[in-house]
A and B are shown apart, each in its own frame.
Chain A
Amino acid sequence: MPSDTLDAPAVPAAPPGGPDPAAWRIVPRRRTGQWAAAAVLLVLLVLALASVVRNPAFQWGVVADYFLTSAVLRGLGLTLWLTAVVMALGFGLGTLLAVLRLAGNPVLRAVGRGYVWLFRSVPILVQLLFWFNIGALYPVILGVRTVNLLSPVAVAVIGLTLHEAAYAAEVVRAGILSVGAGQVEAAQALGLGAGRRLRRIVLPQAMRAILPPAGNMLIGTLKGTSIVSVIAVQDLLYSVQLVYHRTYQVIPLLLVATLWYVLVTSVLGVGQHYLERRYARGTAGAR
């Protein structure tokens, strides 16, 4: 009677397939749901694509006509240049600010903290307009008329860099904090100076934590530079705007700009992948 209280055994007492366990075969679980979901999504994707391609309002012909025109390419060039300059200067200044914020000297800490507070608080659009109108605030600096001093492109570089640096400072600081205190102590015990410790020991290890958010910021900056169109800097967005203000083909020209942004972002994503792999040296999964 004891067998009544138990469920029927799921596994037969005598295993099939002979007595040799090495000869048994493992059959993976079926993933029916996964395949079904993939099929449904694929169908939806095809439908959406077909609608985009066949809807004449997108005017793909116009997109193709303008995609490689010199005006658009010049705008793209300026956008890429601006992105590169702002990222380089912004992260340079940001690294300096991060070091200030982590310094032992309370005066330096206050400077770093104050900068980040100020430039994170002021909207980038407002900041650009301030720099653009600097002549109204300080008409003459050191005997030079400020109106002549700053071109719109210079205003764009200054404004975007100062803004970028405040965010970069926090990204770099997070990276530095992610490196264990023991690493700094070991470097100190070996007599390495502060600069060498930072460059050679801390920052290379911090890069692993810095790169993913820095990649985010790079893509954000690429698209964010489009804000300079308000001060008449001819970046990618402003270049297509100039065209559609003339031809009223708003949608296809915005598509031209969008496709370029998507294209560049995709390339940057690939670059980030390889950079991350390089800085994973010496850790599990690398080499």
Chain B
Amino acid sequence: MNAMVELRSVHKSFGTTEVLRGIDLTVAAGEVAVVLGPSGSGKSTLLRTINHLEKVDRGWISVDGGLVGYRRGAESPARRAFGRGGRGRAADRLYELREREVLRQRTGIGFVFQNFNLFPHLTVLENLVEAPVAVQRRPRKEAEAAARKLLERVGLAEKAGAYPGQLSGGQQQRVAIARALALAPKVLLFDEPTSALDPELVGEVLDVIKDLAHRGTTMIVVTHEIGFAREVADTVVFMDGGRIVEQGPPRQVLDRPRHERTRAFLSKVL
């Protein structure tokens, strides 16, 4: 099994509040992991640490074999020249990367927000083309052709010239998914992608995500949609109080939960 995303002993606090208290998680390439849990359990923070929107306090995260946000051991020559740190202990140190390097890593990690966060002053097509042209230096013509294909895939080919404000919530979220896909990321992270939608619009967004799952995209999805988890997830992760309470295939976690806490949560949301 080839690990695409790996988290080891990840800790994160905001002030004195411990939000993540030692998270260990492995998501294999092509796998869909669905993270469930009550509000405040740390699900969203967990997701945000994976593309370094939040820095971790302890532990490490890797995507496709590369550490996210840090470099291990091997100091920069300049630092060694000044005689700081190092001295044979470099192997257990993580050095924070420059912003430029973090930004490059992020292009391999697609992120879809609860509130879409489309750029309202740009058209749908411009939203999709912005990063491939500016970050990956792809020719505009080529990026636009690729963007139109992605819009077709999410069923919004005719909305290329529209502004986000002219679209429904479901359409906006589909555009946001296409925008994340435009960078051809190795992993897609979804932070409650349907929580801000009218109930009747949830289905169209979930259909797009299911389609991606069938195409073998590696995904981590934070959601409250239990039915979606049952249908699409390879692994269901249940979190509470900054810890992973249990994880496993949906049949096991959703139908025969081993922990009382999981049982209590599921009985409320089902």
Contact with B along A180-215 (1 / 0, CB 8 A): 101101111111111010001100110000000000
Contacts of A191 in B (CB 8 A): 103-104, 106-107, 131, 135, 183
Most buried by A among B51, B103, B109, B135: B103
Complex alpha-carbon distance, A185 and B114, angstroms: 12
Complex alpha-carbon distance, A200 and B111, angstroms: 20
**Does A284 count as interface, using CB distance less than 8 angstroms?**
yes
Q: Is the CB of A200 within 8 A of B130?
A: yes
Q: Is the CB of A182 within 8 A of B163?
A: no
* With known contacts A189-B106, A191-B135, A193-B103, A281–B117 Cβ distance under 8 A: no
Contacts of A205 in B (CB 8 A): 119-121
Q: Is the CB of A190 within 8 A of B165?
A: no
Contacts of A69 in B (CB 8 A): none
**Does B164 count as interface, using CB distance less than 8 angstroms?**
yes
Minimum Cβ distance to chain B for residue A67 (Å): 43
**Does B13 count as interface, using CB distance less than 8 angstroms?**
no
Contact with A along B149-183 (1 / 0, CB 8 A): 00000000000000111000000000000011001
Q: Is the CB of B135 within 8 A of A192?
A: yes
Q: Is the CB of B119 within 8 A of A192?
A: no
Complex alpha-carbon distance, A200 and B127, angstroms: 11
Residue of B106, B118, B134, B179 touching A200 (CB-CB under 8 A): B134
**Does A21 count as interface, using CB distance less than 8 angstroms?**
no
Q: Is the CB of A182 within 8 A of B121?
A: no
Q: Is the CB of A183 within 8 A of B135?
A: no
Q: Is the CB of B117 within 8 A of A183?
A: yes
Q: Is the CB of A190 within 8 A of B53?
A: no
Q: Is the CB of A185 within 8 A of B165?
A: no
Q: Is the CB of B53 within 8 A of A185?
A: yes
CB within 8 Å of B: which of A38-93?
Answer: none
Nearest B residue to A201 via CB reads B119
Residue of B115, B164, B183 touching A190 (CB-CB under 8 A): B183
Nearest B residue to A196 via CB reads B134
Minimum Cβ distance to chain B for residue A95 (Å): 18
Complex alpha-carbon distance, A77 and B135, angstroms: 45
Count contacts on B: residues with CB < 8 A to the other chain: 30
Q: Is the CB of A186 within 8 A of B113?
A: yes
Contact with A along B83-110 (1 / 0, CB 8 A): 0000000000000000110011011011
Q: Is the CB of A189 within 8 A of B51?
A: yes
Q: Is the CB of A188 within 8 A of B106?
A: yes
**Does A17 count as interface, using CB distance less than 8 angstroms?**
no
Residue of A183, A188, A196, A282 touching B165 (CB-CB under 8 A): A282
Most buried by B among A196, A201, A282: A282
Residue of A190, A194, A283, A284 touching B131 (CB-CB under 8 A): A190
Q: Is the CB of A283 within 8 A of B120?
A: yes
Complex alpha-carbon distance, A200 and B122, angstroms: 9
Q: Is the CB of A185 within 8 A of B121?
A: no
Residue of A183, A193, A201, A281 touching B100 (CB-CB under 8 A): A193
Contacts of A192 in B (CB 8 A): 103, 130-131, 134-135
Complex alpha-carbon distance, A193 and B120, angstroms: 19
Q: Is the CB of B115 within 8 A of A182?
A: yes
Nearest A residue to B189 via CB reads A189
Contacts of B103 in A (CB 8 A): 188, 191-193
Residue of B117, B121, B135, B163 touching A186 (CB-CB under 8 A): B117
Complex alpha-carbon distance, A196 and B135, angstroms: 10
Known: A187-B119, A192-B135. 19 other contacts (CB 8 A): A182-B113, A182-B117, A186-B113, A188-B106, A189-B106, A189-B111, A190-B130, A190-B179, A191-B104, A193-B134, A205-B121, A279-B121, A281-B163, A282-B120, A282-B123, A282-B163, A283-B120, A283-B165, A284-B165
A-B contact pairs, 12 of them (CB 8 A): A180-B117, A182-B113, A185-B53, A185-B113, A188-B53, A190-B179, A191-B107, A193-B135, A204-B121, A282-B120, A282-B122, A282-B163
